[in-house]
Amino acid sequence: MLKIVPTTPYDDQKMGTAGLRKKSKTVEQPNYVENFVQSIFDTIGGVEGKTFVLGGDGRYFNKIAIQKIMKMAAANGMKKLIVGQDGLISTPTSSRVLLDNKADGGFVLTASHNPGGKNGDFGIKYATATGGQCPTAVSDKIYENSKNIREYKILDAPDVDLSRLGTQKLGNMEIEVIDYLTPYVEMMEEIFDFAAIKKLFAGGFRFVFDAFNAVTGPYAKKIFEDILGAPQGSVLNAVPMEDFGGLHPDPNLIYAKQLVDIMYSDNAPDMGAANDGDGDRNMILGKKFFVTPSDSLAILTDNYRLIPGYKNGIFGVAKSAATSTAVSRVAKALGIGYYEVPTGWKYFCNLMDSHRITFCGEESFGTGSSHIREKDGIWAVLFWLNIIAVTGKSVEQITREHWAKYGRSYYMRNDYDGIDVAVANKLMADLEAKLPTLAGQTFGDFTVRSAGAFIYNDPVDGSSTKNGLVVYFTDNSRIVYRLSGTGTNGATLRVYLERFETQDFDKNMLEFLEPLAEVARQIAEIGMRTGKTKADVLT
Ligand code: VG1
Ligand code: CO
């Protein structure tokens, strides 16, 4: 039975860098999900006759939210909803299924790398027919509508059984419950040389993957263990759980502690990797060796010819402005197009659609290609395995050869967490105002060459976006400042530090970057304004 339910608006349903991201407790408020979803449906002219893809990373509230969305879709006249079995789907798979089915949109229920559970975070990523997350112009309209919403439509019906594959009806809407692994696995088999990777594992190559009890567990078990032949048990924390078993599914050196301990032990495997909650991020480790995501993007791009799916050539490459400049040197050497965009994968999509780029990446452990319109964690891991299988070189050797050829960008991100929002906004505004006066000034060993806001003019849709502040120094060092758009706890100031070096590749990263970190604090008056003398998280 169709119900039209009166509701009162919330004033905080503004999407950030990647969808709506909130505390679970916020999303659990009455009608919170309903208001947001109805606002989307209303903004896009309704969903009558349309097809959507739906699933999530399995975190707390996934099951409840998914039933609400299915019933709302049916009540709003949607024709078909393609849903991952048990309500699961990774962000990369959702993008693929959306494109394969020429669907009109999709939802992934996830707060990505943020912790889950009742006291953790929940989120909703909304993608359009392009397979990528909706552009800011659309999310702004959705936000406006959410502030005025008065009612939503929902079907009064029993919960849908999502354990059963195949087609069923909810009202007049068709629900197709799909096996979310197959479309993804098939896509990976088309791109990579599975036979070569199988041989690598058969030869005793030791590999460990941490899935953090989030959505990539089933994918990793199937691909790495069942198909490619890595020994059973190579995938850690492989069962999706509502609270991720208490783990924080953020693949970096701090949160992937179990994996990092294994990879830095004396008997370390040859390669270690991890993904985030929704499977779009990746971390790559060798034996006692860490590959920065910025270097990873540069290395993958430089080795594209080794991969069957790209051997006939690639278009250009793009990175977010905050990401290190390593890939720019590869682009130059390969003679391919090179773009810098704001932080957030949605900014890459127009470049992919217009065949300007094939690869793209972000410093935040995100790498991907135009096979979909999201970043792709397992894709990046397979890319590395494929390079290793073909070259016989180790993770460290591949990375060191890259530095020898192109130089090394020592690079790190410093996060100052939990800052009062007003303090953070003022810090950024005052810093921006002061930047034009910095050129020529010297701070410690660093002299400013130029400084200003990063402004991106999209060559395809003509939109203009300001994202972050950049200070360039005469020795090619850089500092980038931004406020996070995915946090749920006050404001997070991200400070990205980069120093370029052509000779010595064995410097201690922390020590080498500390003087620049100090300059960053000084220029932005971080200590005085936030009371923090050092960053909370270094990645
Ligand atoms: C962070 C990262 C950004 C990434 C975004 C979504 O955003 O810095 O590079 O695209 O998360 O990642 P912010 O605004 O907090 O810096 V995820 O894996 O949603 O899908
Ligand atoms: Co993610």
What pLDDT is stored for residue 485 in this prediction? Answer: 87
The reply to whether ligand 1 has any atom less than 6 angstroms from the CB of 484 is yes
Catalytic residue among 24, 39, 95, 112: 112
- What's the CA-to-centroid distance between 341 and ligand 2, angstroms? 18
3-state secondary structure of 456: strand
Q: Which ligand is nearest to the CA of 480?
A: 1
How confident is the model at residue 487, as a pLDDT? 81
Give the dihedral of Cα atoms 365, 369, 375, 376; nearest 10 deg. Answer: -80
Closest atom of ligand 1 to CA, residue 344: 10
Q: Is 346 in the pocket of ligand 1 (CB under 6 A)?
A: no
Relative to the alpha carbon of 277, which ligand is closest? Answer: 2
- Between CA 42 and CA 36 the distance in angstroms is 10
Q: What tens digit of pLDDT does each residue of 177-203 get?
A: 999 999 999 999 999 999 999 999 999
The 3 state secondary structure assigned to 70-132 is HHHHHHCCCCEEEEEEEEECCHHHHHHHHHHCCCCEEEEECCCCCCCCCCCEEEEEEEECCCC
Contact status, residue 294 vs residue 271, Cβ threshold 8 Å: no
Residue type, 329: R
CA separation, residue 449 to residues 337, 442, 478 (Å) = 25, 10, 10
Which H/E stretch holds residue 114?
A: none
Structure tokens at 211: 């899935």
Backbone φ/ψ region at 495: left (φ over 0), alpha (ψ -120 to 50), beta: beta
Residues 6+ apart with CB under 8 A from 324: 292, 294, 295, 363, 409, 411, 498
DSSP 8-state symbol, 226? I
**Closest residue by CA, ligand 1 atom 6:** 18
Q: Which of 364, 358, 327, 326 is nearest to 342 (CA)?
A: 364
β-strand partners of 81: 52, 175
Q: Is the CB of 80 under 6 A from ligand 1?
A: no
Question: Which pLDDT score is estimated for 492?
Answer: 96
Scored b (16 or more CB within 10 A) or e, 238-269 reads bebbbebeebbbbbbbebbeebbebbeeeebb
* Residues, CB-to-ion distance under 5 Å, ligand 2: 112, 276, 278, 280-281
Closest C-alpha among 175, 16, 180 to residue 90: 180
pLDDT per residue as tens digits for the range 472-525: 999 999 999 999 988 888 999 999 999 999 999 999 999 999 999 999 999 999
Is 320 designated active site? no
- In this prediction, the residues of the chain whose per-residue pLDDT falls under 70 are none
Residue 348 phi, psi dihedral angles, 5° rounding: -80, -20
114 CB under 6 A from ligand 1?
Answer: no
Q: Which of 15, 90, 343, 347 to mutate to test the pocket of ligand 1 (most atoms within 8 A of CB)?
A: 343
What gap in Å lies between CA 292 and CA 393, rounded to an integer? Answer: 18
Tokens representing 516 are 């620049």
Closest Cα to residue 467, out of 136, 145, 184, 239?
A: 136
Counting ligands in written order, the one closest to the CA of 15 is 1
Is 152 within 8 Å of 35 (Cβ atoms)?
yes
DSSP 8-state class, residue 159: P
Ordered alpha helix ranges (H), 357-480: 377-391, 395-406, 421-434
Note the Cα 272 to chain centre separation in Å: 19
